[in-house]
Amino acid sequence: MISFLIIIVLSYLLGSIPTSVWVGKLFKGVDIREHGSGNPGATNTFRILGWKFGTAVSLIDVAKGFTAAYYISQLGYLTGGVPVIIGAWETDVFMRLLAGSAAVCGHMYPLYARFKGGKGVITAAGMLYGIEPISISLALIVFATVLFSSRYVSLGSILATFSYPLFLLMLRYGFDQPVDGSLIVISAIVAAGIIIKHHSNIRRLLDGNENRIRSFKPARGRLNQEQQS
């Protein structure tokens, strides 16, 4: 039990690193939460600071989820403290999910940023790449297709998140791939949490006033105007 707690706490603290907030303040002297959508995530970083900083934030957020799922999850084995298999679930897959989900939770509700974080999509993608890369790659194709056809990041994120558990089911029951049940169940729970976190985006999409991505260049003019007002 102690090993489980250590893994959860370390993964949550790693996920809690508010990448976009720290990058914006360190390199630009800008609090990303005070501009654009106000969301401390990669999308708003792209919009306000440009593609270079947006890419850097995205890669770090992916690394948070991947590191938790692929590395921190293994700490229990070093101490010999993970002897249990929950039902028919594989222990290793479950531990990776546990650690990765804690990192996603930290990203969405970060300790270092008053529990107001990003939407969790990119960190969840990093977590899932550390567990099973095929389905998450398919989900990213869904994201890219929707993004470039509609220019809505939020819609792409929502549909990709929704599709991921479906791809897992397809691999397991349609192609007889060894997809563990814990991955299907917990990924569905994480997906539901991410979609709920997008509730304001869903409302704006339904109302027809959601922001579209028009350029990957930084919004310097708008940022300067906001700072002067």
Q: What is the pLDDT of residues 127-137, one digit of tens each?
A: 999 888 899 99
Chain segment 152-164, per-residue pLDDT in tens: 989 999 999 999 9
Number of domain units in the chain: 1
Encoding tokens for residue 53?
């900083």
User: What pLDDT does residue 225 have?
Assistant: 45
* Residue 90 clears pLDDT 80, i.e. is over it: no
Task: Report yes or no on 218 lying in a domain.
Answer: no
**DSSP letter, residue 212:** P
HSE toward the beta carbon, residue 54, CA cutoff 13 A: 15
Neighbours of 131 (CB within 10 A): 25
Q: Is residue 221 part of a domain?
A: no
Cα Rg of the chain, angstroms: 18
> The domain containing residue 130 runs over which residues?
2-213
Residue 175 lies in a domain: yes
Whether residue 84 is contained in a domain is answered as: yes
Classify residue 51: in a domain, yes or no.
yes
pTM over 0.85: no
Residue 226, domain member (yes or no): no
Look at residues 133, 115, 114, 117 and name the one whose alpha carbon lies nearest to residue 125. Answer: 133
Closest CA to 125 of 106, 139, 142: 139
Average pLDDT taken over every residue of the chain: 87
Q: pLDDT value at position 206?
A: 95
101 located within any domain: yes
Predicted pLDDT at 212? 83
pLDDT at 21: 95
pLDDT at 88: 57
Residue 73 · residue 98 · CB < 8 Å: yes
Q: What is residue 227's predicted lDDT score, i.e. its pLDDT?
A: 46
Report residue 215's pLDDT band, with 50, 70 and 90 as the boundaries: low
Query: Quick one: tokens of 55?
Result: 């890419």
Backbone angles phi, psi at 225, to 5 degrees: -65, -40
Strand, coil or helix: 220: helix
Report the greatest alpha carbon distance in the chain. 60
Q: With respect to residue 220, please indicate whether it lies within any of the assigned structural domains.
A: no
Distance CA 23, CA 193 (A): 26
> Looking at the predicted structure, is the pLDDT value of residue 63 above 60?
yes
Please give the Cα distance from 151 to 133 (Å, whole number).
Answer: 25
